[in-house]
Amino acid sequence: MMELLGLSILELCYIAASITFIMGLKMLSSPDKARKGNLIAAYGMGIAILATILFKEELTADKWLNYALILAGLIVGTVIGTRMALKVKMTAMPQMVSFFNGMGGACAAVISLVEFDHLLHTGKVEMSMLIVIILGLIIGGVSFSGSIIAYGKLEGKIGDKALPAGQVINIVLLLVMIGLGVFIAMADTQEALYIYILLGVSLLYGVLFVMPIGGADMPVVISLLNSFTGMAAALGGFLYGNQAMLTGGILVGSAGTILTVLMCTAMNRSLTNVLIGSFGGGGAGASGQSGEQGTVKEISVTDAAILLAYANKVSVVPGYGLAVAQAQHTVHNLEKILDDKGVEMNYAIHPVAGRMPGHMNVLLAEADVPYPKLMEMEDANDDMDNTDVVLVIGANDVVNPAAENDPSSPIYGMPIIDVIKAKNIIVMKRSMGKGYAGIENELFFHDKNRMLFGDAKDSLEKLISEVKNL
């Protein structure tokens, strides 16, 4: 095979692919460059795939069936992935992320099964390879089953179900996986039965650890499962000596782990509790208060428009309701109209608003909202005292004062967008329904707050019309 500076063409292609992965990941940290970064990383993956097919082994006629199957797999996967990506709505983006992540975990588990079978048939059992296979199987299996359950919960097909003594069961399953893995690695003779039992336990753990978790905590779960898939892919890269697969897996695994820690901090959850599946909040009861908390005050569209048009600074707090109403373009139109009237408008983004990390950033970026207008929670809170009007659109738990005021609340201690510091608050909702945490929102009854009921997109369109007439 041709070489350049002592490196084969295949190795050079892997280095090029790894560089694109790093560049793409770096660009993903900025919403205005994220799309380009994603494309660069995708092209790098394409280079790695083609290089593996063309240069990994010598192309021979007797392997035509293998090449045909590889080509067929590429075509089928490309067609399915493209159609899903083009048809998916922004409200269903978290589901698609979970589904694709689960497929990555499944691939890692299948690789481990195939390579274990290969070791059995060759009779060359290396301890290091066996450990990698076992770890890949466990992590891939947990990632696959957990991601599919997360997909079902986000899609509304699976509810929050916690088994009695669920934490104990999860801990026992973890110990069983570790013990069985050690047994398979240390046994004098390997049998396929044990590896399939390990796969079954891994799949069961993935199901049980995600099942009780409430939708409000789903961003943490998605991030964690994404890091699992990355680690499983890295193990596969080590198994095959594939530098691009190893680099890509390490990047995804490490980035996912860092993001998981950030999400846990934003949700006031510990990573240990995530691993044993002890947190949730899907219907954990009220915030600790009973009875009527106060009087709900409504506001008309006309009065809301007057508040907005004559304000100096307006802050929008977007939530999942904005995605459901597909109102991101409409709120951007309101922003442009207010800007023409000399009103400064920004967006206060909570780290876990929506159903996946960065959901609101992606949603608003789709509507071409300028990146400088997207404020992180800490910056938004620092500026909240100078804000005349806060417009909460579809957000609930991330603005609930119970997180600061009520020790009995399931979300107590969770950092929130501190909208109460603003002079006026307008909450846009369809009804007085509770958020995904299943608790009452104290903000609805606050003296500064006014409720504007109705579909977010319809209400925003009416606001735009009224503001134009002022």
* DSSP state letters, 184-243: HHH-SS--HHHHHHHHHHHHHHHHHHHTT--GGGHHHHHHHHHHHHHHHHHHHHHHHT-H
Higher pLDDT, 106 or 284: 106
Q: Are strands 3-4 and 7-8 parallel, antiparallel or unpaired?
A: antiparallel
Closest CA to 49 of 70, 69, 31: 70
Question: Which pTM does this prediction carry?
Answer: 0.76
Start-to-end CA span in the chain (Å): 73
Residue 175's pLDDT is 93
Q: Which two tokens stand for residue 461?
A: 């369109």
Of 86-90, 100-104, 309-313, the one with minimum mean pLDDT is 86-90
pLDDT bucket at 43, cuts 50 / 70 / 90: very high
Nearest to 283 by CA among 123, 420, 106, 436: 436
The percentage of the chain sitting over the pLDDT mark of 70, rounded to a whole number, equals 88
pLDDT at position 302 is 93
Average pLDDT over residues 335-358: 88
Range name among 289-293, 325-329, 421-425 with the lowest pLDDT average: 289-293
Q: By the 8 A CB rule, do 439 and 402 touch? A: yes
Residue 4: the pLDDT is 55
Model pLDDT for residues 252-279, shown as the tens digit of each residue: 999 888 888 887 777 676 777 655 544 4
Number of H helices, E strands in the chain: 17, 8
Amino acid, single-letter form, for residue 456: A
The answer on pLDDT for 1 being more than 50 is: no
Residue 304 has pLDDT above 90, yes or no: yes
Least confident of 116-125, 213-222, 233-242, 355-364: 213-222
Q: 319 burial class (0-12, 13-18, 19+ CB within 10 angstroms)?
A: buried
The highest-confidence range among 72-86, 110-124, 151-165, by mean pLDDT, is 72-86
Lowest mean pLDDT among 87-101, 324-338, 370-384: 87-101
- Tokens representing 154 are 């986000």
Which of the residue ranges 149-158, 210-219, 260-269, 278-287 has the most confident prediction, judged by mean pLDDT?
149-158
Is the per-residue pLDDT at 189 higher than 70?
no
pLDDT at 241: 82
- SS percent in the chain: helix, strand, coil, step 5: 65, 10, 30
Residue 25 is which amino acid? L
Copy the structure tokens of residue 191: 């049998």
pLDDT confidence of residue 406:
80
Mean per-residue pLDDT, 339-350: 93
CB atoms within 10 A of CB 207: 15
CA nearest to 262, candidates 136, 351, 379, 183:
351
Residue 290 has a pLDDT of 40
pLDDT value, residue 291: 44
Q: Does the pLDDT value for residue 315 go beyond 80?
A: yes
Where do the structural domains in the chain lie, given as residue ranges?
Answer: 92-282, 301-469
Out of 47-51, 128-132, 210-214, 385-389, which region has the weakest mean confidence (pLDDT)? 210-214
Tell me the pLDDT tens digit for each residue of 422-446. 999 999 988 776 665 567 888 898 8
pLDDT bracket for residue 109 (50, 70, 90): very high
Mean pLDDT to the nearest integer, 304-327: 91
Q: Within 13 Å and on the Cβ side, how many CA atoms surround 191?
A: 6
Residue 280 scores a pLDDT above 90: no
For residue 281, the model assigns a pLDDT of: 43
Is a pLDDT exceeding 50 seen at residue 243?
yes
Please tell me the class of the 301-469 domain.
alpha beta
Contact between residue 109 and residue 137 where contact means Cβ atoms under 8 Å apart: yes
pLDDT digits (tens, 9 = 90+) for 12-42: 999 999 999 999 988 887 767 888 998 999 9
Give the residue-averaged pLDDT of 178-203: 88
Catalytic (active-site) positions: 397
- pLDDT above 80 (res 52): yes
Computed over every residue of the chain, the mean pLDDT equals: 84
